[in-house]
A and B are shown apart, each in its own frame.
Chain A
Amino acid sequence: MLLFIFKRFLWGIPVLLTVATLTFAIMHIVPGGPFDREKKLPPEIKANVEAKYHLDKPLHKQYILYLYGLIKGDLGPSYKYLGRDVRDIIKDTFPVSIQLGVLALFISIIIGIGTGVIAGIKSDTWWDRLTILFATTGISLPNFILGIILILLFSHFYKIFPPALWEGWRYMILPSITLGFAPAAYIARLTRSGVIDVMNKDYIRTARAKGLKYRSIVLKHVLKNSIMPVVTILAPLTAALVTGSFIVEYIFSIPGMGRFFVTAVTNRDYPLIMGVTLIYTVIIVLANVAVDILYTFLDPRVKLE
């Protein structure tokens, strides 16, 4: 297994390099530069600024300089937040996004699998229909609408939770529900299908015939075999949740990293765009490895080679 993990990490290097190259190329193709302002800079000043950030150099040289910095672990200075390195910005904001993302992931897994299993084993009952309603709503309701509804309900009308900011765990409830709601709905649908499929298998019939308790059949046989599709989506889901969400962070004023996926682009803050993209890629690579390992625990037929 160690060899497998090592190999997968090695494969991560060309993936990172490809992502870095493509991102670098695309962000320079997009019109507009980091120092284009409503109040235009005199050419002499623009020259000083561009020289400071090596933007006066040809593109290929800028790319080499960036890669050289990357090898040394230097993600470069932000063009927007002057005097701050991208590394510092990520260091300040990524833990917040992880906190929120893990909580949202936890909520989505618990609610998604829970409702999915109940709907699956009670298919064609009102439980099932309720779950389908929940799943459809969760997938089709944009999270900025859900966030506003939650704020209205729980902050405006019933002053239970604060509407925004990040002062403690009470402040995490509404944003993590907002962030976790759609994935929970998606997981519920996947689990439900899986459960219905597994419930019709011969080994479940055998287990019932042997007189095993229903609860035990569901927990030991049905659940384990029906959540494989959920495990498959866990990697991209984890990456998406722990790297933050622009909308949720924006609505709830959370000092996370998710906002930079949008604001760094609108500001043409090239190093920050590269930084957050690479972090996202690293998380995707790590999560995929983790999911592959998880497969071996859930399905003994899967071997890591």
Chain B
Amino acid sequence: MSSNLVYSKTMKIKICITAFFILIFTSCNIAETKNSNIFRMSISTEPPTLDWSLATDGVSFNVIASIMEGLTEFDEKLNPKPAIASKWDVSGDGKIYTFYLRKDVFWTDGKPVTAYDFEYSWKRLLNPQTAAEYAYFLYDILNAYEYNSGKIKDPELVGIKAISPGVLEVRLKKPIVYFPSITTFMVTFPQRKDIIEKYGDRWTEPENIITNGPFKLTKWRHEYQLILKANEKYYNGKPKVNTIKLFVVNERNTALTLYETGDLDMVSLPPEAIPSYREKSEYKNIPLLRGYYYGFNVHKKPFDDGRIRRGFAMAINKEELPRILNGGEIPTDSWISKDMLAHNPKIGVKFNPEEAKRILSNAGFPNGKGLPPITLIFNTDPVNSLIAENVQFQWKRNLNVEVKLDNQEWKVFLKRLKTDTPAVFRLGWGADYPDPDNFMTLFTTDSGNNNTGWSNKRYDELINMARGEGDREKRINMYDEAQRILLEEDIAIIPLFFTAQNVLIKPYVKGLRLDAMELLYLKKLKIERH
């Protein structure tokens, strides 16, 4: 009896172990069956929000760009082209833009998209209670700043008016030639007043959200996954791909493993993996409108002397940086990004170590002797460290100057920039809209993002004039002059390179568009038989 009992217990254990392994080997994984018309990709974080009035980050914007559309969108060359607006007019003085909306654009609940939805959305963005960080995007509109900053309370005074369901009129304070580019940006997409008022903060949850783009949000498992389905009501026709699955994968090496195991169709490559994939057809390198620079505090010794700034700028061979970073970075001496109006690679201080040494010597520091201690400060990041170490080495090699390096946690670094700007520091800038104004306004006297303390009246004038200049050539000349002041005469910053995006895309994925704004366009996506 007892031995039978023991036997049956042993048998049970054996059965359990066998069942365990059968389950392990037979359970299906997330790899969808072949040709399933599903596109799977990773996103680096949970989207902080899908409310396009509040979104500020690339992950949220990429999801929003798949489920929503605005008045205009970018073409392949990043010029604004009609989307929901079939056309637009500009008044003679350049201050009034009138957008004419298509009549065949519908929300996912079947209601038509109207100019009132745009008026509501834009005024909601500007409403101080919304506390939208990108509200300043519309500050060029009449009374927009005044309304957002609480100086006026009546939103009717703001220069945004739906004349009829199909016509939106926008009154600007002064002419802004790139205004249609701004209307490509997600924060200007229309919104449904009834939905937001009904659901409050929860209006972006899949069961509540109403959108108008090529895909609709059907599932959002926070911190893990979003599922988008093709929108059959999309005015440009239902997309060819039925389902998009976006997995939140924080660690890029994990995403790469999932790509290798066939669980993902597209991933962003970690920098250390780029050399291993560079020669493969799946590898894509997309230069971005994102500049990386070292800034000087022009009020701190020794960089309060323009000659020292020039010497240090001249002593960096930027060609060395892409070789150590391996990510397809484009070295630059000028600041306006490649593929942007007024990009001029001739502008900027060129690498010349002999001249750099001579300048330093003339400034009273022969062979780098006598300079006060210099510390280059950057935020903690392996890429930033690599760059800083290389520049430190170059300054030692070319100027015989010992520069200390100090890295700080991101928010501590930002606080330091604000309260005690270091003599030399690292920063970057990614385009919000592909116009030189977005890059050049950064260093005007009033700009909150100008951490250098540098100010130049002529520069400010040029940037202000160029914003409203309709003549393309004149505008380019203005930016050329401004760049020369910033980079050759006063040398407030040293541009180092423009960054690039490195991704792997499975060969059966077609029609995917990634642009220099780091945006992903999924509406023409197609999964071929594989």
Residues in A lying within 8 Å of B, measured CB to CB: 30-33, 35-45, 47-49, 51-53, 77, 80-84, 89, 92-93, 151, 155-156, 159-170, 173, 250-253, 255-256, 259, 266, 268
- What distance in Å separates the Cβ of A183 from its nearest Cβ neighbour in chain B? 22
Question: For A250, what are the chain B residues with a Cβ–Cβ distance below 8 Å?
Answer: 250-251, 254
Asked if B296 is at the interface (CB within 8 A of a chain A CB), the reply is: no
A48-B129, A165-B30, A173-B24 known; 13 new pairs, CB 8 Å cut-off, are: A30-B411, A32-B414, A39-B449, A41-B136, A82-B51, A160-B25, A163-B258, A164-B249, A164-B257, A170-B23, A170-B27, A251-B254, A256-B223
Given contacts A253-B247, A253-B248, contact A92 B223 (CB under 8 A): yes
- How many residues of chain B are within 8 Å of chain A by beta carbon? 57
A83 touches B51 (CB 8 A): yes
* A251 and B29 contact, Cβ closer than 8 Å, known pairs A33-B411, A44-B149, A155-B257: no
B222 at the interface (CB under 8 A from A): yes
Q: A259 to chain B: which residues have CB within 8 Å?
A: 223, 250
The 8 Å CB contact of B222, one of A38, A51, A251, A255, is A255
Given contacts A45-B136, A259-B250, contact A82 B48 (CB under 8 A): yes
The B interface is mostly helix, strand or loop, or mixed, namely: mixed
Given known contacts A83-B51, A252-B254, A266 and B410 CB-to-CB distance under 8 angstroms = yes
Q: Which residues of B contact A33 (CB under 8 A)?
A: 411, 415
- Cβ contact within 8 Å between B412 and A52: no
What 5 A-B pairs come out closest when comparing CB atoms? A32-B411, A255-B224, A255-B223, A44-B149, A82-B49
Q: Is B274 an interface residue (CB 8 A)?
A: no
Number of A-B contacts (CB under 8 A): 153
* B507 in contact (CB, < 8 A): no
How far in angstroms is the closest Cβ of chain A from B398?
29
Give the shortest distance, in Å, between B248 (CB) and chain A (any CB).
7
Confirm or deny: B260 has a beta carbon within 8 angstroms of a beta carbon on chain A: yes
B56 at the interface (CB under 8 A from A): yes
Most central of B128, B129, B413, B432 by chain A CB within 10 Å: B128
CB–CB B414/A38 < 8 A: yes
Instruction: Indicate if the CB atoms of B51 and A36 lie closer than 8 Å.
Output: no
Q: List B contacts of A168 (CB < 8 A).
A: 27
- Known contacts: A82-B51, A89-B222. The answer to whether A156 contacts B257 by CB under 8 A is yes
Cβ 8 A contact of B254, one of A82, A164, A266: A164
Point out the residues of chain A lying under 8 angstroms from B258, CB to CB.
163-165
Tell me, yes or no, whether B75 is within 8 Å of chain A by CB: no
* Set of chain B residues within 8 Å of A255, measured between Cβ atoms: 221-224, 248
B residues in contact with A266, CB < 8 Å: 409-411
Contacting pair A160 B414 (CB below 8 A): no
Inter-chain contacts of A77 with B (CB < 8 A): 201
> Roughly how many angstroms separate A156 CA and B222 CA in the complex, as a whole number?
28
Smallest CB–CB gap between B430 and chain A, Å?
A: 8
B235-276 interface mask toward A, CB cutoff 8 Å, 1 = contact, 0 = none?
000000000000111110010011011010000000000000
Instruction: Name A42's contact: one of B247, B411, B418, B448 (CB within 8 Å).
Output: B448
Q: Does B397 contact A (CB under 8 A)?
A: no
